[in-house]
Amino acid sequence: MTPEVDILQATDIAFAYRPDEPVLRGVSLSAAPGRFTCLLGSNGSGKTTLLRCLMGQIEPASGAIRLDGKLLRDYRPRELARMLAYVPQLPASSLAFSAAEIVLMGRYAHTGPLGLAGPGDVAVAREAMKMTDTLDFADRMLDELSGGEAQRVMIARALAQQPSVILLDEPTSHLDIRHQLNIYQMMRRLAHDWPMAVVCVSHDVNLAARIADDLVLMRRGLVVAAGSPADVIRQDLLTQTYDVPVDLIPTPGDDVPMVRAK
């Protein structure tokens, strides 16, 4: 990953919720367009906190985050929204809005007062829904959709912002294996085709290893290893990351072995 290509660059991020309990102790991370990166680590490793720093939701105590060369904190909210989008773990609480209206909410940073959607906005929304295979339920209410469908709508909403970076926080932790696979594949497709930088906090090391382009392993606020799955899926690194002895089980047809706790 060369610096000029990296759109999102975090250098030496430190953060603590309470003064004597640092959560991030100096983490560096880069994301380039066209690549799908997964953050892995045990609970408490600081991966969600890192994501929140990357979103601009919390201010790191030290270190710098640059988006397209400019410091994150120098962005105004609407400017930032046109570069960077976020998908939460769970879809929004039940709203009586249709899927199409939710996706159009992603155009907030682009529209004028009252957020009324012009034809250009509708076109972008349509495109986003096509890419996420959600066009079929454009008129259905969000809470009528299944978990997987709703999550795809939320991703479409993020796409409607036309960002260069998408950040996702364990987007599939509550979904079944089919939808998990479906969404991970979609994220890789988006990263490659849009193209954009996709950074996803992941709870499933195997899924991430199979589909992501880059992995970042974190433990106790520090990066243990970063690189392609082939480089990073090693027994010593994973044992260190998850604090549990692991077995690597070779899988025929995949260049990355399966990981299993002993």
Partner 1 sequence: MSEPAEKPSHDDGNLSARRSASTSAPILSAWRLILWTAALLGATVAVAVACTLVGVIGLSDITWEIWASRALRMLTAGIVGAGLAAAGLALQGLLRNPLAEPYILGISSGAGVGVLLGMAAAGWWAAPAWASTPVLAFAGASASCLAVYLVAQRHGRVDPYSLILSGVIVNTFNGALMLAGNLYIDRHRIADFAYWAMGQLPDATPMSLLGVCGACVAVGWAVLLANSAAYNVLGLGDDVAASSGVSVHRLRLVTFGAVGVMTAAAVALAGPIGFLGLIVPHICRMVFGPDHRLGMIIAPLGGAIFLMIAETLCRTVGPVVGISRVPVGIVTALCGGPFFIFLLRTRFRRAGQ
Chain residues that interact with partner 1, rule: CB under 8 A:
52, 55-57, 77-78, 80-82, 84-88, 90-98, 100-102, 104-106, 108-109, 111, 113-117, 122, 139-141, 143-144, 154, 157, 161, 167
Q: Residue 40 or 109: which CB sits closer to partner 1?
A: 109
Q: How far is the CB of 103 from partner 1 (least distance, A)?
A: 10
| Kind of pairing between the strands at 8-18 and 62-67 | antiparallel
Q: How far is the CB of 82 from partner 1 (least distance, A)?
A: 8
* Residue whose CB is less far from partner 1, 157 or 219: 157
Beta carbon nearer to partner 1, 111 or 240: 111
The two tokens of residue 109 are 């940073």
Question: Closest separation between CB of residue 260 and partner 1, Å?
Answer: 31
Nearby residues of 177 by Cβ (< 8 Å), 6 or more positions away: none
Comparison of 52 and 234: residue with beta carbon closer to partner 1: 52
CB of 115 to partner 1, least distance (A): 3
Q: Which of 143-182 are b and which e, b meaning 16 or more Cβ less than 10 Å from the residue's Cβ?
A: eebeebbbbbbbbbbbbbbbbbbbbbbbbbeebeeebbeb
